[in-house]
Amino acid sequence: MRVGPSSAATAPPAAGPADRFEGKARTFKTVLAGRSAAGHGAPPPQPPPPIPASTAVRGVLERAVAAERNLDTLLASAARGKTFSPAELLALQATVFRYSQTVEIVSRVADRLVGAVKQVMGTQV
């Protein structure tokens, strides 16, 4: 079976009302210049304030501890004989995977931090 070019592909696209500005085609630069000249009365969005490193680290560790408690609860209920549906088992598998990734990342960060402290202190531990 052979497929040839369609007539829609060869016809130039029709310019809609959004593509025209006072009878002329508008480019991206024209639109951008018009928006910045108009100002739109709103100041540019400000980035959120930076989160202190101690707060970020504390949040990661608190989430890891909470995930560990959740997993302990699920495993204890499985040890008592609770049966899980396939969907619950998939959710348990995903939870364990996320927890293991978190523990691995925390472990690597701690290892690099200890290495950096050793290097700065110039001592062997």
Task: Report the number of distinct structural domains present in the chain.
Answer: 1
Name the residue range of residue 108's domain.
53-121
Nearest to 89 by CA among 80, 77, 101: 77
Using an 8 Å Cβ cutoff, are 95 and 66 in contact? no
> What's the pTM?
0.51
Residues 6+ apart with CB under 8 A from 60: 102, 106
In a domain, 12, yes or no: no
Give the model's confidence band at 46: pLDDT under 50 very low, under 70 low, under 90 confident, else very high: confident
The whole-angstrom separation of Cα 92 and Cα 86 is 10
> What's the pLDDT band for 30 if we cut at 50, 70, 90?
confident
Please report which confidence band the pLDDT of residue 40 belongs to, taking 50, 70 and 90 as the band edges: low
> Is 14 part of a structural domain of the chain?
no
What would the pLDDT profile of 73-122 be if each residue is shown by its tens digit? 988 999 999 998 999 999 989 989 999 998 998 899 899 989 998 888 88
pLDDT for the residue numbered 19: 47
Asked if the model's pLDDT at residue 57 lies above 50, the reply is yes
Say whether pLDDT at 66 is over 70. yes
19 lies in some domain:
no
Q: What is the mean pLDDT of the chain?
A: 77
Within a domain: 110: yes
Contacts of 21 (CB under 8 A, 6+ apart): 30
Tell me whether residue 79 is in a domain.
yes
Do residues 106 and 64 touch, judged by C-beta distance below 8 A? yes
Tell me if 57 is assigned to some domain: yes
The fraction of the chain above a pLDDT of 70, given in percent, is 69
Question: Does residue 83 lie in a domain region?
Answer: yes
Asked whether residue 42 is assigned to any structural domain, the reply reads no
Q: Does residue 54 have a pLDDT over 90?
A: no
